[in-house]
Amino acid sequence: MILPGDRSESIAAAVDCIRGGGLLGLPTETVYGLAANADDDQAVAQIFLAKGRPADHPLIVHVADASAVAHYAAAMPEFAKLLIQAFWPGPLTLILRRHAGVANAATGGNPTIGLRCPSHPVAHALLKALMKDSVWGLAAPSANQFGRVSPTTAAHVQGEFGDDLLILDGGSCSVGIESTIIDCTRGAPVLLRPGAITPEQLQAECGLRVLSKDELDASSAPAPKASGTLDSHYAPRARVRLMIAGDLQRAVDVLGAEKQGLASNEGLRVAIYSRFWLEPSTIPVLYRRMPDDATATAQQLFAVLRELDAQGVNEIWIETPPADPAWAGVRDRLQRAAG
Ligand code: TXA
Ligand code: MG
């Protein structure tokens, strides 16, 4: 059931659902989450079950504000405090050392916890209301079946989990790709997942260089399993192929010849998502133009993948985004979609 997220009755119904140990479709500025009380291990177990997600993949816990951090986190380095000041509420998740005994199931038993304070007004209103009822946080992975494309509208969530799930409608997500994840437990900030907030922006605020995963000392403890970091993830049913503009143009030319019966391999149905403009009349394929800037592309990316996939094409051909740092989040999701 989808309820309008901007009504106080909807927030009240969502509070009842969470306090009763239920699951909820939660709008955030990044993607929709499948949420449960982070301190209710049984409720959290239902998330793993519904998603088909392995129980050792830790979930992000969403909090109303920085005051809830102390409930979950045992220690916080100075640079993490600066990042919270600068970027919360917003699309930034911090991995911190966890107090023993809190959010056990949500963290998959890891000694650390991922915390994020979302800026979406509906998520914020719900988290505030829950905190008054002593619910400190919502564990919420993206509200999609394991390995599939993340949802950016309430209808996407309903498509994944059916009409029995209570979903708060918060409109289309404004960021569109999952939060940037920074590990704060290794002395220096380490980027675990790129997102809308870039390492350059983080460095400017905390004064420390953000390390990549590859730069981690090989002798340090391995990071826990993390779905968003698996090589094949965010995948539609259709095969995704990433190509630079020149290769994509050549593939399109070949396809055009095939459609006119000039080459074999007909029957292949293709959708194209590219920044370079494809004359719509030259070739009978589904075509969506990729915006010129990374922010606009991130915002629509998952909805476009779902929309093209729903047309029943065999392949989705996508132009490789620019190497510019601003595009890192989009590039990462596309590389994983191409698996
Ligand atoms: O934008 C987002 O972050 C969205 C919305 C709903 O907030 N959530 C999201 O959750 O993307 P999920 O479960 O799809 O991604 C959680 C990822 C894990 O796959 C892992 O990469 C990381 O967060 N993570 C969570 N807890 C961690 C921990 N204790 N240590 C290391 N990584 C952790
Ligand atoms: Mg996910």
Task: For the chain, 339 residues long, give each residue's pLDDT as a single digit of tens.
Answer: 999 999 999 999 999 999 999 999 999 999 999 999 999 999 999 999 999 988 889 999 999 999 999 999 998 999 999 999 999 999 999 999 999 999 999 999 999 999 999 999 999 999 999 999 999 999 999 999 998 999 999 999 999 999 999 999 999 999 999 999 999 999 999 999 999 999 999 999 999 999 998 887 654 666 665 666 666 667 889 999 999 999 998 888 888 777 665 444 556 788 999 998 776 556 667 889 999 999 999 999 999 999 999 988 999 999 999 999 999 999 999 999 998
Name every protein residue with a CB atom under 6 angstroms from any ligand 1 atom.
28, 30-31, 33, 57-60, 91, 93, 95, 107, 110, 112-114, 116, 140-142, 178-179, 181, 192-193, 223-224, 226-229
Inter-residue contact 117 to 64 (CB < 8 Å): yes
Which atom of ligand 1 has the smallest separation from the CA of 195? 1
285 DSSP assignment: S
Which of 110, 157, 178, 232 to mutate to test ligand 1, by most ligand atoms within 8 A of the CB atom? 178
pLDDT of res. 256: 78
Inter-residue contact 290 to 299 (CB < 8 Å): no
Inter-residue contact 168 to 151 (CB < 8 Å): no
Which atom of ligand 1 has the smallest separation from the CA of 118? 7
Q: Cα separation of 250 and 256, whole Å?
A: 10
147 C-alpha to center of ligand 2: Å? 7
Q: Cα separation of 115 and 138, whole Å?
A: 10
8 C-alpha to center of ligand 2: Å? 28
CA distances from 114 to 117, 225, 332 (A): 11, 13, 20
Instruction: Decide: residue 82, CB within 10 A, 0-12 exposed, 13-18 middle, 19+ buried.
Output: middle
Q: What 3-state class would DSSP assign to 295?
A: helix
pLDDT of res. 218: 54
264 C-alpha to center of ligand 1: Å? 44
45 DSSP assignment: H
Q: Cα separation of 188 and 80, whole Å?
A: 9
Listed residue (19, 11, 15, 255) closest to 121, CA to CA:
11
Inter-residue contact 25 to 154 (CB < 8 Å): yes
Which atom of ligand 1 has the smallest separation from the CA of 223? 31
pLDDT of res. 106: 96
267 C-alpha to center of ligand 1: Å? 39
CA distances from 132 to 15, 64, 136, 148, 285 (A): 10, 11, 9, 35, 53
Name the pTM for this structure. 0.93
61 C-alpha to center of ligand 2: Å? 13
Q: Cα separation of 27 and 121, whole Å?
A: 9
Q: What's the 3-state SS for 195-257?
A: CCCCHHHHHHHHCCCCEEHHHCCCCCCCCCCCHHHCCCCCCCCCEEEEECHHHHHHHHHHHHH
Instruction: Decide: residue 215, CB within 10 A, 0-12 exposed, 13-18 middle, 19+ buried.
Output: exposed
pLDDT of res. 255: 80
What is the biggest distance separating any 2 CA atoms in the chain, rounded to whole angstroms? 68
Ligand nearest to the CA of 146: 2
241 token code pair: 């192929």
Which of 60, 95, 120, 234 to mutate to test ligand 1, by most ligand atoms within 8 A of the CB atom? 60
132 C-alpha to center of ligand 1: Å? 25
